[in-house]
Amino acid sequence: MSERIWLASYPKSGNTWLRILIGCLSLKDGEALDINKLPERGGIASARAPFDNLTLIDSGLLTHDEIDRLRPRIYEELGQSLEEEVPEGPQEPVQVRFVKVHDAYTLTSLGEPLLAGKRGAKAAILIVRDPRDVVPSLANHNGTTIDEAIEFMNNADAGFCNKPGRQHSQLRQQLPSWSGHIASWLDQRDIPIHLLRYEDLKRDTAGALLAVLDFAGVPATPADIERSTLIATFEALKKQERNTGFSEWHDRSGNGRLFFRRGDVGGWRDELTTEQILRIESAHGPMMKRLGYELSTSSELVLIG
């Protein structure tokens, strides 16, 4: 029996980095990090295989909405047992299992939480990042222009793996705009949330990690945390990806796009035009303020925009 905790975020907000930092806690002394053999393998909530295996139903024969109506049953079942989600290979016994999720916190058409409320996980770490930094990273991830990424983040109907006429590797993940996604998590009242800003994780990695573990009820010594932050620096992840590739990422464009890109705080200042900044701040100003991100444009400009 284990407890599950969601690592929830809009894509490109530091979810994988945090997961690797947590995973590195279980490395033994002298053991090096291999980003393709991560110790923490809780997987992602939208994985297709556990759905098919637990329901016995071929998800490829169901519509996105039909799948969503069954998904709460999957998380209830996984919430009770570790058996089905562990992919392969030897596993260390763990008390808390962190599971990545990009889905917004939505209700199914039957009105129940897609992620099964507290029966699916006892809590969630919500990682957020300045949307102006998410935009260039998302454009790189999706293989689109900056403007298309802004449009995606403003679109209430956006999502991953949501196209008809093909089988996506994962189940549909609804991303109803950047603001809508974060609001869905912040405003739900089913499970407690620990809010973590990417910028704070970057600024004080050890402190942010300690707070996450404290919230999750995972014991860790300061030495463990320090070792983890020294091993899993963003630069180290970038370097490993350049050398060996990253198993969780496949650039189908063949243009050599990397998963770990800049990881900067404030990189948007040299990547976005004033007009692009205005569009993001105009669409997401209220949520940015709620999260403590300072707008670069005046409130009048935002209103005009």
E strands in the chain: 3-9, 96-101, 123-128, 159-160, 173-174, 193-197
Quick one: which of 56, 111, 256, 294 contacts another protein (CB under 8 A)?
56
Stretch that binds another protein, among 65-73, 98-106, 151-159, 264-272 (CB under 8 A): 65-73
DSSP code per residue over 160-201? ES--TTS--SB--EE---HHHHHHHHHH--SS-EEEEEHHHH
* 253 touches another protein by CB under 8 A: no
Least distance to another protein, CB of residue 83, Å: 8
* 138 forms part of the interface with another protein (CB under 8 A): no
Binding flag, residue 73, another protein (CB under 8 A): yes
Q: How far is the CB of 3 from another protein (least distance, A)?
A: 20
Rounded-to-integer distance, Cα 149 and Cα 151, Å: 5
168, exposed or middle or buried, with CB in 10 Å at 0-12, 13-18, 19+?
A: middle
The residue from 66, 204, 214, 226 that contacts another protein (CB under 8 A) is: 66
Distance CA 128, CA 18 (A): 12
Dist CA 4 CA 31 (whole Å): 26
Contact characters 153-172, another protein, x per CB under 8 A: -----------xxxxxx---
Binding region for another protein (CB under 8 A) out of 23-31, 185-193, 200-208, 242-250? 242-250
* 274 binds another protein, rule: CB under 8 A: no
Place of tokens 């949330």: 193
For the segment 75-94, give every residue that binds another protein (CB under 8 A): 76-77, 84, 88
Contact residues for another protein (CB under 8 A)? 36, 48-49, 52-63, 66, 69-70, 73-74, 76-77, 84, 88, 164-169, 241, 244-250, 252
